Structure 1
Amino acid sequence: MPAQMKLSAITLDCPDPLALAEFYQQATGLELHPKSDAEFAGLNGENGLLVGFQQVDGYRAPIWPDQTVPQQLHICFKIDEDLDEAEARLLGLGAGKPDHQPHDAARARVFTDPDGHPFCLVRE
């Protein structure tokens, strides 16, 4: 039987790690990792999971749902607040909302972070 693997980090490429970490910190309430800097920033998640942001020269934002520049990663967040309120809060923080919404709007919505990474909010 193979050893069990435990997910310890998810890292997103971006042009400005501290700025993207700040967006997700405000959106999620997670704490900024104390060793965050201009090249790599992180947020301390639940159960030891680190959400990281690494600086990449020549970063190209994914285009969703078009695959001209593939998304490569799609993050989903469960929420227990009203989706309309969450949407307004995220848009105020700098998120985008693509026209293409593949889910029932009462249950889930797709957004993009300030660097173009798509993510969903799913109502619990």
Structure 2
Amino acid sequence: MPSWMKPVAITLDCPEPLALAAFYQQATGLEQHPDSNADFAGLNGEHGLLLGFQRVDDYRAPSWPGQVVPQQLHVCFRVEGDLEAVEARLLESGAHRPGHQPHGDKARVLTDPAGHPFCIVR
């Protein structure tokens, strides 16, 4: 089936775009977009996909797994090698590990420093 739309950006709301971009840059190795600033920061991904972070005043972090503040977006990242080692590095970088882990040994749910849930999967 021919595609007539291609994703060009995924953007997360947050209180501090440069700080959140730095977290994901350390985790993914993606390069920071040259026009990044205090209101909008981006990382250049594969195939032209930009991972963006935009400042939102009065930002409220998602409450995962509860839905008091819905997550609205959940990004998954494939990891190579030992899942536990990658998780440990992410925790040292500022990620958090919620108690609810629905995927057993196949994946981990973490939250980034702004509270967005994301998964790392084998």
Shorter-chain TM range is: over 0.9
Work out the CA distance in 1 between the residues paired with 2:34 and 2:49: 15
2:25 is matched with which residue? 25
2:52 is matched with which residue? 52
Per the normalisation by structure 2, the TM-score is 0.97
Work out the CA distance in 2 between the residues paired with 1:13 and 1:40: 9
1:119 is matched with which residue? 118
Runs of 4+ in 1 over 4 A off after TM superposition: none
Letter in 2 for 1:19: A
Work out the CA distance in 2 between the residues paired with 1:3 and 1:88: 38
1:77 is matched with which residue? 77
Work out the CA distance in 2 between the residues paired with 1:72 and 1:44: 22
Structure 2: gaps of 5 or more residues? none
2:12 is matched with which residue? 12
Corresponding residue SS for 1:57: coil
1:98 is matched with which residue? 98
1:86 is matched with which residue? 86
Deviates more, 1:77-86 or 1:15-24: 77-86
The alignment covers a number of residue pairs equal to 122
Letter in 1 for 2:111: T
Alpha carbon RMSD of aligned pairs, Å?
1.2
Per the normalisation by structure 1, the TM-score is 0.95
Structure 1: gaps of 5 or more residues? none
CA displacement 1:69-109 (0-9 Å, x = unmatched): 0001000001112011001100000000000000022x111
Give the percent of matched residue pairs that are identical in Structure 1 and Structure 2.
Answer: 70
